[in-house]
Structure 1
Amino acid sequence: MNSVDTKPMIPQAEYAKKLREFLPSEAFLPDSSKVWILLINLLILVSGWVIATDLNQWSVYFLWLYLPLALLMGNSVIVLLFSSHDLLHGSVIRNARTAHFLSLLGLTLLWMPPTLWKTLHNRVHHNKTNSIDDPDRNYLFQQPRTWEKWIQHCFAPSDEVSTIGLTLGMATAWGIYAFRNLVSVLLFNSSSVNFVPAAFQVNRKTRRTIAIELLIIGGIHLGILAYLQFQPLKLILAYFLPIGIGYAGIIFYVYTNHMFRQMTSVNDPLLNSVSLRVPKIFDLLHLNFSYHAEHHIFPGINSDYYPFVQDLIKTHYPDRTYILSAGEAWYLLLNTPRHYKDEMTLTDWSGERSISCPVLHPNSK
Structure 2
Amino acid sequence: MNSVDRQIQITQAEYVKKLRPLLPDEAFLPSFNKVWILLINVVILILGWGTASYLDQWSWYLLWLYLPLTLVMANSVIVLLFSTHNLLHSSAIRNSYLRQIISLLGLALLWMPPTLWKVVHNREHHTKTNSRYDPDRSYLYEQPKTWGKWLQNLFVPSTEVHPLFLSIGLGHAWGVHTLRNLSSVLFFNNGLTRYSPAAFKVSAKERGSIALELLIIIGIHLSILSYLQFDPVKLILSYFLPIWIGYGGILFYVYTNHMLCPMTALNDPLVNSLSLRVPKLFNLLHFNFSYHTEHHIFPGMNSDYYPLVQELLKTLYPDRFNLLDARAAWLLLLRTPRHYQDEQTFTNWSGKNSLACPLLHGDGLIQDGAPQDRC
In 2, Cα distance between equivalents of 1:77 and 1:248: 10
Tell whether the 8 Å contact from 2:324 to 2:364 is kept in structure 1 after alignment. Answer: no
Contact 2:141 2:340 in 1 (8 A): yes
**Contact 2:15 2:297 (8 Å CA) reproduced:** yes
Distance 1:160 1:122 in 2: 32
Counterpart AA for 1:87:
L
- CA shift at 1:105, angstroms? 0.3
* 1:327 CA drift (Å): 0.2
Alignment of structure 1 residues 94-133 onto 2, 5 Å: 94-133=94-133
Q: Deviations over 1:64-122 (max 9, x none)?
A: 00111000000000000000000000153333332221111000000000000000000
The equivalent residue for 2:293 is 293
3-state SS in 2 of match to 1:319: coil
User: 123-132 or 57-66, which moves further after superposition?
Assistant: 57-66
Q: Deviations over 1:189-223 (max 9, x none)?
A: 11210000000000111100000000000000000
Is the CA contact (8 Å cut-off) linking 1:318 and 1:364 kept in structure 2? no
The residue aligned with 2:52 is 52
CA distance in 1, matches of 2:306, 2:192: 37
Distance 1:206 1:89 in 2: 18
Q: Would the alpha carbon gap of residues 130 and 187 (structure 1) be closer, same or farther in structure 2, given more than 3 Å must change?
A: same
Residues of 2 paired with 1:5 and 1:170: CA distance? 36
In 2, Cα distance between equivalents of 1:91 and 1:254: 24
Structure 2: how far apart are the matches of 1:135 and 1:244? 23
Confirm or deny: 8 A CA contact 2:271 2:321 kept in the other structure. Answer: no
Alpha-carbon distance in 2 for matches of 1:94, 1:129:
27
Residue 197 of structure 1 aligns to a residue whose secondary structure is coil
Q: Distance in 2 between matches of 1:354 and 1:255?
A: 19
Task: Show the counterpart of 1:147.
Answer: 147
TM-score by length of 2: 0.95
Confirm or deny that 1:14 pairs with 2:14.
yes
Match of 1:363 in 2: 365
Equivalent position amino acid for 1:294 in 2? E
2:166 paired with 1:190: no
Aligned to 1:225: 225
Question: Which consecutive unaligned segments of at least 5 residues does structure 2 have?
Answer: 368-375
Match of 2:250 in 1: 250
In the other structure, the counterpart of 2:212 is 212
Distance 1:4 1:140 in 2: 21
Distance 1:5 1:192 in 2: 34
CA pair 56-203 structure 1, distance change in 2 beyond 3 A: same
Tell me which amino acid in the other structure corresponds to 1:361: D
> Do structure 1's residue 156 and structure 2's residue 140 form an aligned pair?
no
Unpaired runs of 5+ in structure 1? Answer: none
Report whether the alignment pairs 1:88 with 2:88.
Answer: yes
Aligned to 2:372: none
The answer to which of 92-101 and 106-115 deviates more is 92-101
**Equivalence for 1:324:** 324
Quote the Cα distance in structure 1 between the aligned partners of 2:29 and 2:153: 41
C-alpha displacement at 1:56, in angstroms? Answer: 1.2
CA distance in 1, matches of 2:63, 2:3: 53
1:235 aligns with 235
Q: After superposition, where does 1:332-351 map in structure 2 within 5 Å?
A: 332-351=332-351
Preserved CA contact (<8 Å) 1:270 1:322: yes
Cα distance, 1:308–1:62 mapped onto 2, change above 3 Å = same
CA contact (8 A) 2:131 2:137 kept: yes
- Give the structure 2 partner of residue 270 of structure 1: 270
Name the TM-score, length of structure 1 as normaliser.
Answer: 0.97
Say whether the 8 Å CA contact 2:324–2:366 is kept in structure 1. no
SS of match in other structure, 2:319: helix
What is the aligned-residue RMSD (CA, Å)?
1.4
The one-letter code of the counterpart of 1:253 is Y
2:199 is matched with 199
Matched-pair contact (CA < 8 Å) for 1:314–1:364: no
Separation in structure 1 between the aligned mates of residue 34 and residue 154 of structure 2, nearest angstrom: 37
Deviation at 1:4, TM superposition (A): 4.2
1:5 is displaced (CA, Å) by 6.0
The offset of 1:142, in angstroms, is 0.6
Q: Does 1:76 align with 2:76?
A: yes
2 CA distance for matches of 1:115 and 1:181?
12
Q: 1:183 is aligned with what amino acid?
A: S
